[in-house]
Amino acid sequence: MPSVAVPTTYEPVIGLEVHVQLLTASKIFCSCSTRFGAPPNTNVCPVCLGMPGALPVLNRKAVEFATLAAMALNCRINEISIFARKNYFYPDLPKGYQISQYDKPLAEHGFIDVGSDKKRIGITRVHLEEDAGKSLHEGFPDSDEKTAIDLNRTGVPLIEIVSEPDIATPDEAYEYLTRLKEIILYTGVSDCNMEEGSLRCDANVSVRPRGQKELGTKAEIKNVNSFRFIREALVYEIARQVEVIESGGKVVQETRLYNSTEGKTYSMRSKEQAHDYRYFPEPDLLPLVVDEKWKAEIVKTLPELPEARRARFVKVYGITEYDAQVLTVSKSLADQFEAAAKAAKNPKRVANLVQGELMGRLKAMGAEIEQSPISMNGVAASADLVESGAISGKMLKDLYDLSFARNKDFPEVYEEEGRPQQSSDTSALEKIIDEVVAANPKQVEQYRAGKKTMLGFFVGQVMKASKGQANPQLINELVTKKLE
C-alpha cells in the first residue's frame, strides 16, 4: 500500500459513513424483491411507492442481518430502537421521507482495529434504514433532456455504519474500509459490491493545527465509488484545506464531490443550503425490540471473524502473519485452506506452497487467488507428494506450470502426466555421484578434513546433474556413504 505524506504542522481528522445493502430476498418494509438488474420499476408496490394509506411491515431478516453485522463490529445492541422519518424532497424518494433511525439506533459503541499496531477506530452507531430510488440520466430515449427514475431500489434494506472521527490518515481510512468490508463479507449479510452500489461510503474530513483539541470544520465527500478513490479524494481534500487555512481563509462546511479523472474534489452544496431533515418518530412502526432471547439466537450465527481466524491460523498451523493474511482474505478461501491444511501431512508446507508457488504465478497473470487453477486441495495433494519424497521440489514446480498452462487442478495434471516419481534408481544415482566426486577432489579433501558442511555442496551438484529428478534424501545418504 503506497504511503501518503501527511502535512506535519496540520493533523487530518477523518470520520466515515458507510452504507451497506443487506442481502435479504425482499425489501425492508414490503415483500417486493431486492434483485439487482431487474427492468426498471418492476419490483415496486404501494408501500415502496409511498401510496397514501399503504403501511410498512418490518422485515425480520433485515433486523437479524443488521444485528449480526453490528455484533461483528463489536457494537452494543440496543434492546429498543426507534424508526424515524428523515424528511427531504427529491424525485427518487416517493414518500417525501426516508425511514431511518435517529436518536435511538439499533446499535452503538463498536470498533474496528486497523493496521499492524491494531489502532482502534470507534464505531459510533449502526442503524437500519431504507434505500432511495435511482435517477437515470442516460441510456433511454430523450435522455439528453430528461431524467428517468427507477424505484426498484426504493425500500431495499441498508445499514449505515458511522465511525468516530478517529481516523488520522487517508491510508488509515483505506485500511478501515478494507477491514470493514472483510468483516461484513464474513458475516454474509451483504456482498459489499461497490459497482452495484451495495457498499457506499461518504468521507468526512477536516484538518487542525497539530496539538489543537477542537476539531476543524469538516467537508463531506460523497459518492466515491472505490476505496482507492476515497484515499485519493482524502489526500487531495486534506491538501486543499491546509492551503485554504495557510492562505488566511476559512474552511467552509460543505458537501463535496470527487472527480476521479481530475483527482479533485468540487463543492456540491454548502451548509447554508444544507437540509433540515425534521426528524420525528415513524408513527406507522412500533419501536423495534431485540431482546436477549433474540440476540442469543443471532449471536449463534456469528462466524469466526477474520482477525480471530488469522491469529488461530498462526497458532495452529504454524504459518506466518503474512501468510495468514493472504489466506483469510475471504471466508471461503480460509475455509478451503483450513480443510486442506487439516488433510495435509504438513500444513506449513501447504501455506509455503501457496505463498511460494501459487501467488507469484497468479500475480504474473493478474489473477486473484480465488481464480487459481490449483485449488487448496490440489496444493495439499502436491505438498504431501513432496513430503513423502514421491516428487521433488523441481518436479512440483514443473507440474504447477502445467496446471497453469492447462488451467487444470494439480491432481488432474499429476494423473495426466502418469503420476511421475522422482528417481530412486540407486545405480544411476551412484554413477552421477562417482562423477561429481571425481570432478571435485579439493572439496572431497575439505570434507574429509572435517568440513562436514561440504555435504550440501555435493548434494547440490548431484541434484543439478540429475536435473532435479532425484530424491534429495536418497542423494544425501548415498553421498555420505561414498565420502565416508
Residues of the shown chain interacting with ligand ADP in the complex, contacts defined by CB under 6 A: 13-17, 162-165, 204-206, 215-216, 218
| Closest to 216 (Cα-Cα) out of 182, 175, 245 | 245
Q: For residues 34 and 382, which CB has a smaller minimum distance to Zn ion in the complex? A: 34
Q: Which residues pair with 17 in a beta bridge?
A: 162, 202
Question: Cα–Cα–Cα angle for 268, 274, 279, nearest 5°?
Answer: 135
Q: Which is nearer to ligand ADP, 11 or 323 (CB)?
A: 11
**48 contacts Zn ion (rule: CB under 5 A):** yes
**CA angle, residues 361, 366, 369, in degrees to nearest 5:** 65
> What's the per-residue H, E or C state across the chain?
CCCCCCCCCEEEEEEEEEEEECCCCECCCCCCECCCCCCCCCCCCCCCCCCCCCCCCCCHHHHHHHHHHHHHCCCEECCEECEEEEECCCCCCCCCEEEEECCCCCEEEEEEEECCCCEEEEEEEEEEEECCCEEECCCCCCCCCCCEEECCCCCCEEEEEEECCCECCHHHHHHHHHHHHHHHHHHCCCCCCCCCCCEEEEEEEEEEECCCCCCCCCEEEEEECCHHHHHHHHHHHHHHHHHHHHCCCCCCCEEEEEECCCCEEEEEEEHHHCCCCCCEECCCCCCEECCHHHHHHHHCCCCCCHHHHHHHHHHHHCCCHHHHHHHCCCHHHHHHHHHHHHHCCCHHHHHHHHHHHHHHHHHHCCCCHHHCCCCHHHHHHHHHHHHCCCCCHHHHHHHHHHHHHHCCCHHHHHHHCCCCCCECCHHHHHHHHHHHHHHCHHHHHHHHCCCCCHHHHHHHHHHHHCCCCECHHHHHHHHHHHHC
Pick between residue 240 and residue 482 the one whose CB is nearest to ligand ADP.
240
Query: Residue 30 binds what, of ligand ADP, Zn ion, none (CB under 5 to 8 Å, by partner type)?
Result: Zn ion
| By CB under 5 A, residue 45 contacts Zn ion | yes
Task: Give min distance, CB of 114 to ligand ADP, in A.
Answer: 15
Interaction partner, residue 45 (Zn ion, ligand ADP, none; CB < 5-8 Å by kind) = Zn ion
Q: How far is the CB of 280 from ligand ADP (least distance, A)?
A: 17
Return the number of the residue (64 or 166) whose C-beta is nearest ligand ADP: 166
Amino acid at 24: T
Smallest distance, ligand ADP to C-beta of residue 297, A: 31
Min separation Cβ 308 and ligand ADP, Å: 26
327 interface partner picked from Zn ion, ligand ADP, none, CB below 5 to 8 A per type = none
Q: Which does 48 bind (CB under 5 to 8 A by kind): ligand ADP, Zn ion, none?
A: Zn ion
Q: For residues 72 and 132, which CB has a smaller minimum distance to Zn ion in the complex?
A: 132
C-beta closer to ligand ADP: residue 215 or 365: 215
CB 152 within 8 Å of CB 38? yes
Query: Minimum CB separation from ligand ADP for residue 215, in Å?
Result: 3
Total residues interacting with Zn ion, rule: CB under 5 A: 5
CB of 33 to Zn ion, least distance (A): 9
Residue range at the interface with Zn ion (CB under 5 A); choices 37-45, 99-107, 199-207, 218-226? 37-45
Question: Strand pairing of 280-281 and 83-87?
Answer: antiparallel
Give the residue at shortest CB distance from ligand ADP: 15
Cβ of residue 15: shortest distance to ligand ADP, in angstroms?
2
Least distance between ligand ADP and beta carbon 162 (Å):
5
Residue 163 contact, options ligand ADP, Zn ion, none, Cβ 5-8 Å cut-off depending on partner type: ligand ADP
206 binds, among Zn ion, ligand ADP, none (CB under 5 to 8 A by kind): ligand ADP
Nearest approach, Cβ of residue 20 and Zn ion (Å): 20
21 or 204, CB closer to ligand ADP?
204
Site string for Zn ion, 13-32 (x = CB under 5 A): -----------------x-x
The item of Zn ion, ligand ADP, none sharing an interface with residue 344, based on CB under 5 to 8 Å by kind, is: none
Cα 258 from Cα 254, distance rounded (Å): 13
CB of 274 to ligand ADP, least distance (A): 8
Q: Which is nearer to ligand ADP, 14 or 185 (CB)?
A: 14
Residue closer to ligand ADP by CB (options 11, 357) is: 11
> Is the Cβ of residue 99 or residue 399 nearer to ligand ADP in the bound state?
99
Residue 50 backbone class (left: φ over 0; alpha: ψ -120 to 50; beta: rest): left
| Shortest Å distance, C-beta 75 to ligand ADP | 15
Which partner in Zn ion, ligand ADP, none is near 215 (CB below 5 to 8 A by kind)? ligand ADP
51 or 274: CB nearest ligand ADP: 274
Judged by the rule CB under 5 A, the positions of this chain that interact with Zn ion are 30, 32, 45, 47-48
